[in-house]
Amino acid sequence: MDKKQAQKRAEELRRITEYHAKKYYDEDSPEISDFEYDMLMNELKNIEKQFPELVDSNSLTQKVGGSVKEGFEKVVHEIPLQSLQDVFDFEDVRSFDERIRKTLGEDEKKLKYVVETKIDGLSASLEYKDGTFVRGATRGDGSIGEDVTENLKTIKTIPKVLKEPVTITVRGEVFISKKDFEKLNEQREILEEPIFANARNAAAGSLRQLDSNITKARPLDIFIFNIQKVEGKNIESHYEGLLYLEKLGFNVVPKKMLANNIEEAIEYIKKIGDERENLPYGTDGAVVKVDNIGFREKLGTTYKTPKWAIAYKYPPETKETKVKDIICQVGRTGVITPMAILEPVKLAGSTISKTTLHNEDFIKEKDLRIGDTVLIQKAGDVIPEVLKVVEEKRTGNEIKFEMPKICPVCGAMAVREEGESATRCIGIECNAKLLRSIVHFVSKDGMNIDGMGYNIIEALMNKGLIKNIADIYSLTFEEISSLKKNGRKFAQNLIDAIEQSKNNNLDKLINALGIRHIGIKTAKILAKQYKSMEKLMNASYIDLSIIPEIGTITAKSIVDFFEQEQTKDLISKLESANVNMNYKMDNKADERFSGKTFVLTGSLEKYSREKASEIIENFGGKTSNSVSKNTSYVLAGEEAGSKLKKAQELGIEIIDEQTFENMIN
């Protein structure tokens, strides 16, 4: 590569790494794996090493990624929170040792290293004055971080008062354990919230919340791994410093080993690599640090990284194995996922016997068949993935896989809609997705059973007190009160809420059933149109699809849902429990917006968009996302955009917030 090519590639790499660093550090939503990002950075470093004149001070090779999120107070780190130089093979580790020995001269005889697990989380500093926790901050760009003191106080493993009245600043890594991460994502999926890409970003996103109550609800933990500054105590050894931190009451990084030389350090790196599959927390590497604090001062730092430490990143490992079978699993939301059953193979420290194949498109893209030999990879702690089929090893006896047309758990229809990659079970009583179905059924937008949250439902199911949705209406006072110590008041409140839900209007029940593509708005339209559950259940595809707000996809979804025996069984049980099945017209209803369609654009001062839409619908009107000749009014707030312009072009009446208030008052 000549200089001109190198310059072009370096500029391209800087753009790519800046983009992915922003997604990773600032937005907590990475689009590529850590390993892929590391490889891009490594390529850029090598170019800058070969052509030093191409080094750019704005390059991520010269600075720490990350910035301060708007809404947080800035904290200037007295001791910068630097990042580490990454290495990817043991020769680089030995080269690191050689450079250090050369700098230390005679002192190299006293050189020792500490090897620790590299925790996959978000770095933070904690400040204590006379033993009391006074402030905590994220790393940010290394020099300036975000004040997240209140959020850090919600982490149980952070001591509020130390066992000695020392003034000290420490550095640690906030993380979420593997088990807690799986549970968190499972719960978010059931509650129809976006799932986190990985545990690191879940931890970062949780710590950087402006509302500490959100942070408190997340299962955050921390490992402390460094003393940044301490008053009145002379600590000469990093390893002794870690032991002192434990004595003070900190949750110190558990895997820490003192090595007498670099070969011993390499053996410890290998040992952590062999054990990392079984560690309860995520780690993608091991950190090697010079133990002697005085030596560290002599070795110095660059702007971005210390010269006395490196991070060894475990390379992804690949192995060949055979696909013995492909089975399907049903997730909590009803998504049917194909799973490859593999001939067991040792990979990255664990035995792999199965792996997800994601969806039908993934299998077709790889042209994957039962009996194929495949290459699988496991980078860091992620789930093993099929990289490719080894086509030259095909025998001709391989079998093509077809996604099931019925759910393998409950026998209901398995549907893949146009434009989607997922195949879903639509059975409302399917055991695989029962928890999610019940959570949605009792939610505020569903039957609105106050007090029946996720944890209560899970407890009721674990005790066998709920086996289907209809069982909610046969729960007894004694059964509910048994869930909590002194739970009599809670039980009575929940019994009252369950009883009250029986009188909900029909639209609440329709939405509670969780029919695909049916939300609050569509449920109201269906309730008004058909007046009873019986008539809706018997509605034809043609009749439904000609309703302007429904359309062909939603119509098919409704018909498919009500054709299922599970649906008919549930509706029958709910009717027997005296749940209202009819639309109740409010004779006193104010229909002042009947026949009117509103489009909302821009931001309103007094109302959220959802609240304004609710008011319009309560007055018999409709809301739409797009402006057309059928639009009656465009309600425009601050910074209204293209919708306002289109309304002006079409001559649609435009109203402001004050006019809207006059109309509703």
Q: Computed from CA positions of residues 638, 643, 649, 650, in that sequence, does the dihedral angle turn out positive or negative?
A: negative
Q: Give the pair of three-digit tokens for residue 417.
A: 């809609």
CA distances from 269 to 30, 34, 98, 256, 283 (A): 27, 19, 18, 10, 12
What is the rounded CA–CA span in Å between residue 555 and residue 563? 12
CA dihedral 242, 246, 251, 254 (to 10 degrees): 60
Nearest to 512 by CA among 456, 465, 470: 470
Q: In this structure, are residues 128 and 134 in contact, taking their beta carbons and an 8 Å threshold? A: yes
Q: In this structure, are residues 84 and 93 in contact, taking their beta carbons and an 8 Å threshold? A: no
Nearest to 464 by CA among 485, 434, 442: 434
> How many of the other CB atoms lie within 10 Å of CB of 301?
14
DSSP conformation letters of 364-419? HHHT-EET-EEEEEE-TTSPPEEEEE-GGG--S--EE----SB-TTT--BEE--TT
CA distances from 403 to 106, 359, 421, 556 (A): 68, 9, 12, 20
Residue 118 annotated in active site:
yes
What is the rounded CA–CA span in Å between residue 66 and residue 25? 5
> How many of the other CB atoms lie within 10 Å of CB of 367?
12
Return contacts of 248-252, CB within 8 angstroms, 24+ apart: 248/159, 248/162, 248/163, 248/164, 248/166, 248/168, 249/159, 249/162, 249/163, 250/159, 250/162, 250/170, 250/172, 250/224, 251/157, 251/158, 251/172, 251/221, 251/222, 251/223, 251/224, 252/223, 252/224, 252/225
What is the rounded CA–CA span in Å between residue 273 and residue 291? 21
576's CB contacts (< 8 A; 6+ apart) are: none
Q: Is 25 helix (H, G, I), strand (E, B) or coil?
A: helix
Beta strand 423-425 pairing with 597-601: unpaired
What is the rounded CA–CA span in Å between residue 82 and residue 123? 10
Strands (E), 202-349: 221-230, 256-259, 283-290, 309-313, 317-330, 335-347
Q: In this structure, are residues 223 and 246 in contact, taking their beta carbons and an 8 Å threshold? A: no
What is the rounded CA–CA span in Å between residue 259 and residue 33? 31
What is the rounded CA–CA span in Å between residue 340 and residue 355? 5
CA dihedral 235, 224, 171, 349 (to 10 degrees): 110
Given the residues 112, 118, 304, 313, select the one marked as catalytic: 118
Active site residues: 118
